Copies of this chain bind each other. A is one copy, B any other.
Amino acid sequence: MTYCLALKVREGVVLLSDTRTNAGLDDISRFRKMFVWERRGDRAIVLLTAGNLGVTQGVVTRLEDAIDAAARDEDGAESILSCATMYRAAELVGEAMNALQARDRARIEAHGSAADASIIMAGQRKGGKVRLFLIYSAGNFIEATDDTPFLQIGEHKYGKPILDRVIAPATPLKDALKAALISMDSTMRSNLSVGMPLDLAVLSTDALTVQSRRLEADDPNFRAISDAWSNELREAFHALPDVPLR
């Protein structure tokens, strides 16, 4: 399984993904699910992927090939780094998804596996706004809004309650970052199919660049926030009022 999330606040977008994949319970591997493209001063884009790994790797490969073709200035070449808007970039991801589904889906399903995949894309181009999209298997997509400022893919339920309570457009970026890590921590504690290491990225509004880091299993910052949250939760719990039975 997988858990990826992206939280959009006024100061920017926080993106976080795990690295565990599994084909059954006894076939567990580690794959990066976060992909970053930057053209400093012009645009920055981050993708998070979930679902069938062959499909999502195929999508990323097609996006990379298009970037190379556009860089060589080939006729009609259009890529997520050269297209006019972030909306168009989401369309390009959807088109790549469509191409992969058309090529592979029937065969994958004939063998009893699932071809579903989903992709979160966050990005900003010079002169545009920060935008955050969720692209489905059918290639269609939705955009995060102030009413729903976060998107999740994969094993999303365990980590949703804390986001529902904490994330709003006015949430400071550093708090969104903590919320993302806590949401991931809760998911990993409740579901073994989501696991360390983690990939963390931040797209600060108008920076047109991506700050990112990998958090390994023994990362002291992650350990500190995970332990602090456990302690705070226990204290919060013991401060609750009693509930009478009658």
| A contact residues vs B (CB 8 Å cutoff) | 157-162, 164-166, 174-175, 177-179, 181-182, 186-187, 189-190, 200, 202, 211, 213, 221-222, 224-225, 228-230, 232-246
CB-nearest residue of chain B to A186: B161
Q: Which of B174, B240, B245 contacts A232 (CB 8 A)?
A: B240
Q: Which of B166, B182, B245 contacts A211 (CB 8 A)?
A: B245
Q: A166-B237, A224-B241 are in contact. List 8 more A-B contacts (CB 8 A).
A: A158-B160, A159-B161, A161-B189, A165-B233, A181-B243, A228-B241, A229-B236, A229-B240
Q: Which residues of B contact A178 (CB under 8 A)?
A: 237, 240, 242-243
Docked pose: A157 CA to B3 CA in angstroms: 13
CB-nearest residue of chain B to A173: B245
Most chain B Cβ neighbours within 10 Å, of A159, A161, A177, A232: A161
